[in-house]
A and B are shown apart, each in its own frame.
Chain A
């Protein structure tokens, strides 16, 4: 149980294009999903919190117009990196928190490696 998937696992794109990453909770409903970014040899950095049916909450320093988040259902959240540039190249990881859960246990997806040329 508590499986989270991400698609694609790896994407390479040209500078200036947009890339969409999907995050799905496969066997549970998630009212809240989180998006993280991880640069090489660094820890995970929280980018935004995505709540089903409402606008995402972005961490300080994260551009909401560049990183568009949509959480349209209890099992799907998407992150769109708009007008990607080489500095956006990173490992993007989502997590999902089960609805009705008592504790802040998050289950993470396998991550998406984005390379912007």
Chain B
């Protein structure tokens, strides 16, 4: 299972763009990259998933370079409600190695007014 490394914490202000980078040097060919958001006393919420290049949805963008050894979650114009812990995980195809998602420590994002 590919191990991920993220900054423990980040601070930002309302309205700014926040980029959280995750390193996964041992990512396997079949691994996808998935980001989750977790508020205190709640289950993680799926944000975005990608394999390579760039993926964008209504809440975030995910940038993955060609070597896939890292990925960057981009949150545009954050608000106070974006204060949460963000987890980067890598996991295999369902039909592949059946790798389960292993949570690291995540990045605690604090958005200030």
**Residues of chain B whose beta carbon lies under 8 Å from any beta carbon of chain A:** 32, 34, 36, 41-46, 49, 87, 91-95, 99-106
Contact = CB atoms under 8 A, between A and B. Distances in A.
Interface string A2-19: 101010000000000000
Interface stretch (A60-68, A72-80, A81-89, A104-112): A104-112
A106 B93 contact: no
Contact of A103 (B36, B42, B93, B105): B93
A104 B92 contact: yes
A105 B43 contact: no
Interface of A: 2, 4, 6, 34, 36, 43-46, 49, 91, 93-95, 97, 101-111, 113
A104 B43 contact: no
Given A43-B103, A45-B103, A49-B100, A103 B43 contact: no
A36 B36 CA distance: 15
B42 A102 contact: no
B87 A104 contact: no
A107 B103 CA distance: 14
Given A44-B103, A45-B103, A49-B100, A104 B41 contact: no
Contacts of B93: 102-104
A109 B87 contact: no
Contact of B34 (A44, A49, A93, A105): A105
